Amino acid sequence: MTEKYFWLDKEIQEMLPEIIATRRDLHKFAEPGWMEMRTTSCVVNELKDLGIDAILGKDVCAADSRMGLPSKEELDRHAEWAMKNGADPDILQLVKDGFTGAIFTLDLGPGPVIALRFDMDALGVFETQDVVPKSVTDGVMHACGHDGHTAMGIAAAKLLYKHRDELRGKIKFIFQPAEEGVRGAKSIVAAGHLDDVDHVLALHIFPHNGSSAKLRLTSPHGRGSLATTKLDFDFRGKAAHAGIDPQNGSNALLAASTAIMNMHAIPRYGLEPTHINVGILKAGTGRNVVCDQVHMEAETRGGSTEANKYVEEYAVRVAESAAAMHGCSVDIEVKGAAPVMNNSEELVEMAKDLGVEVEILEATGNGSEDFAYFAEKVGSALYMQLPCECAAPNHNSNFDFDESVLATGVELICKMVLRLMEKE
């Protein structure tokens, strides 16, 4: 790395207190996926002075491609909460029906088109950490660092805007809703926002693993994350008295049990990992009533997009056959999905030369991440893991991170943008 971006470090350090303050505000007012109403409002508020056009509301995500939406009641209830907790009423009007998220485009004329993805949503975790101001909402917590990602996105936008005269091309700052449960990314891709993009980047805070590296990347020969599909199954049968006339019922719990056994027994796919899990099941109304309703939540994973598709399609066939077997019907809904994610070789090579220690993971990833939809669409993609000191693992009720990582993240993503623009 040349020294030409010497100014970056100093400017970021000056901004750090502000970045931290934003992160803490977002942390306190944590919002789950598709309900990032106050969060979106905050992002817009921070960036509105730049005078660059924001894409908001129904223009962000293709409505039909959004997965795992909360119910109308939940959205309405949360809109009231957002209003009480400081969301801008005009923005709220745009985002309240499951249309959260925002895209800011800094257009600097001919040159490469670069997209930066920042996710914004919190998790359904009961917070126990007590360093950062706690979430005001019981059972909703930023336990995966997306508060930090959003704060870094705001900072990067301000910084790159400030230096816009030194840049050429176009930068899209994508503030994505509903990454948890891999629900949001697909609908942004479906809306066409990645169609003209040459390179796409994202960053994510993780606990370091003892290494002192500041940047961690999956080898382009490895696999950054597993493909996955999140499926809900609702079996419908017919109730009957279990002692008097069970033959007049249609036993949805027999159908579901058969489905569970056979889903877990789906034959393997060569040497590829192929996971399936039925994690939640709720059934029935009385011990002496033939069960007529089963709700079941499951997920599949695959070491390749094809392997995951194989398991998903097999699971669907299992559910439909098990329902037919017992005279029941089944509704199946996809609540989230992501393909396999891969870093591109070119961007990994470029990132090795950013002036910080880089760790390359040869081992393949076992999680899932819907940034994979962006990567799949664009091809030239980089998922930048930011290893840092954490109080607990991601998704843990005690999760927290060393906020100095926010400076590192802004620096690294800005440097990648500068290098990509300079290169062409």
* Residue count (the chain): 424
Half-sphere exposure of 326 (CA within 13 A, CB side): 28
**Residue 419 in the binding site for a second copy (CB under 8 A):** no
**Residue 152 in the binding site for a second copy (CB under 8 A):** no
Q: What are phi and psi of 252, to 5 degrees?
A: -70, -25
**Residue 290 in the binding site for a second copy (CB under 8 A):** yes
**Residue 331 in the binding site for a second copy (CB under 8 A):** no
Separation CA 372–CA 290 (nearest Å): 43
Residue from 166, 297, 346, 422 in contact with a second copy (CB under 8 A):
297
Q: Which stretch binds a second copy (CB under 8 A): 108-116, 169-177, 189-197, 297-305?
A: 297-305
Residue type present at position 146: H
**Residue 366 in the binding site for a second copy (CB under 8 A):** yes
- Taking the complex as a whole, the smallest distance from the CB of residue 14 to a second copy amounts, in Å, to 40
Separation CA 351–CA 123 (nearest Å): 30
CB neighbours of residue 74 within 10 Å: 14
Longest dimension (CA), the chain: 84
- Taking the complex as a whole, the smallest distance from the CB of residue 309 to a second copy amounts, in Å, to 11
Q: Per CB under 8 A, which of residues 211..230 are in contact with a second copy?
A: 226, 228, 230
Q: Per CB under 8 A, which of residues 224..283 are in contact with a second copy?
A: 226, 228, 230, 242-247, 249, 251, 253-254, 256-258, 260-262, 264-265, 267-275, 277-283
Q: Which stretch binds a second copy (CB under 8 A): 79-87, 165-173, 210-218, 320-328?
A: 320-328
Among candidate residues 334, 67, 309, the one with its CA nearest the CA of residue 187:
67
Q: Could you tell me which residues come within 8 angstroms of residue 167 by beta carbon, excluding any fewer than 6 positions away? A: 108, 111, 160, 417, 418, 421
Separation CA 354–CA 375 (nearest Å): 21
Half-sphere exposure of 242 (CA within 13 A, CB side): 11
- Taking the complex as a whole, the smallest distance from the CB of residue 373 to a second copy amounts, in Å, to 18
**Can you give the binding site for a second copy, defined by CB under 8 A?**
226, 228, 230, 242-247, 249, 251, 253-254, 256-258, 260-262, 264-265, 267-275, 277-291, 294, 297-299, 301, 303, 310, 317-318, 321-322, 324-327, 364, 366-368
